[in-house]
Amino acid sequence: LVPRLRPFTATIFAEMTALAVKHGAVNLGQGFPDTDGPAGMLEAAKNSLFGGDNQYPPGPGRPELRAAIARHRLRYGTEYDPDTEVLVTAGATEAITAALIALTEAGDEVIVVEPYYDSYAAAVAMAGAQRRVIGLVETPDGHLELDLDALRDAITPRTRAVLLNSPHNPTGTVFSRAQLEAVAALCVEHDLIAVTDEVYEHLVFDDAVHLPLATLPGMRERTVSISSAGKTFNCTGWKIGWVCSTPELVAAVKAAKQFITFVSGGPLQPAVAYALDHELPWVEELRTSLQDKRDRLSAGLADAGFAVRPSSGTYFVTADVRPLGFTDAAELAWELPERVGVAAVPVKVFTDHPDEWKHLLRFAFCKRNEVIDEAVGRLRRLV
């Protein structure tokens, strides 16, 4: 393995899921739901599979899916031409990797916010670029926000792109309009490309609102907006993602993408098109049920002695292990499946500054209530 990929030999999700299986633990580590998506979407997939629709789809994706993605994006007030400004990818993961490969050269810098979704560091490395990491800082009310001073300081003449994820995995932070406006202003001032990972766009709670960076002044023409069906329609295994951007940026991402997977998920693409057009009421029910699950798990974790952090979106809540007498959440995460039968993910593995994040564990609440209750019951045995 070449040196630049040596830090990336195992993903925390595969490791923790393997440990959960080995010990029969309740898996609140890897974020995937344990119920299926809308029946109409599954029916549409079945019809494709049994309707002889099993060969390569067109390179940019099935036209009906690209049209549905463009229609869906209108909810934010941005128009995209389905023929030139939308590209279907093998999940958001491929979209992010292909975008970085297509848009950065060796030596270019990409600004990444820590804690960051694990594939980001690997994708920057595969592109041959360098990551410049900035952190989140705590507000007086205990929420996290972008460190805008650090962002400004991180920009150099080599900076090519900012990779931004909101709603944010692992912390559940949803960046405010004011914060996003500040990011947009810096991108415009320094002529940077923004790559936005919006896979949790529908999963926001309370009064949080998802605001795509591309909707802000000067950003439509410099933002590669990425999302996927996995989180919106409970189908993380389908790996249907997409990119919306300008014709030039979409063509660039496609140039890389076509030689990574070429195409994927052909028979599933019409089903995702159907879901985007018809199943948003189902998604609204998913959103409210996830909000209840966030509350249920947060209350349970607090009861078990954790200091639970606020989460305004995603599948995840983070919790401080120090009130329970532990100092390193990663050590605890490795013991937890065997000791009490629960799996969680240490936040520090998503950072370049493990000491600053070592007290936090990430728990997924995208599970049936009885699974959450069972996990909480087991975690009570920790004290």
Closest CA to 16 of 246, 332, 261: 332
Is residue 93 involved in binding ligand PMP (CB under 6 A)?
Answer: yes
Is residue 13 involved in binding ligand GLN (CB under 6 A)?
Answer: yes
Burial class (CB in 10 A: 0-12, 13-18, 19+), 182: middle
Radius of gyration (C-alpha) of the chain in whole angstroms: 20
- In angstroms, the CA 282 to CA 276 distance is 10
- In angstroms, the CA 165 to CA 116 distance is 8
Is residue 234 involved in binding ligand PMP (CB under 6 A)?
Answer: no
Chosen from ligand PMP, ligand GLN, none, partner binding at 337 (C-beta under 5 to 8 Å by type): none
Query: Closest separation between CB of residue 234 and ligand PMP, Å?
Result: 12
Residue with tokens 């990779």: 163
The CA angle 235-30-231, to the nearest 5 degrees, is 30
- Of 90-98, 274-282, 358-366, 369-377, the window that binds ligand PMP (rule: CB under 6 A) is 90-98
Chosen from ligand PMP, ligand GLN, none, partner binding at 91 (C-beta under 5 to 8 Å by type): ligand PMP
| Binding residues for ligand PMP restricted to 159-218, rule: CB under 6 A | 165, 169, 197, 199
Closest CA to 361 of 304, 312, 288: 304
The CA angle 186-191-196, to the nearest 5 degrees, is 70
Stretch 17-56: interaction string toward ligand GLN, x if CB under 6 A: -------------xx-------------------------
Query: Closest separation between CB of residue 13 and ligand GLN, Å?
Result: 3
Chosen from ligand GLN, ligand PMP, none, partner binding at 30 (C-beta under 5 to 8 Å by type): ligand GLN
Query: Closest separation between CB of residue 366 and ligand PMP, Å?
Result: 11
Is residue 334 involved in binding ligand GLN (CB under 6 A)?
Answer: no
| Binding residues for ligand PMP restricted to 327-366, rule: CB under 6 A | none
Asked if residues 315 and 28 have their Cβ atoms less than 8 Å apart, the reply is no
Contact positions toward ligand GLN, by CB under 6 A? 11, 13, 30-31, 169
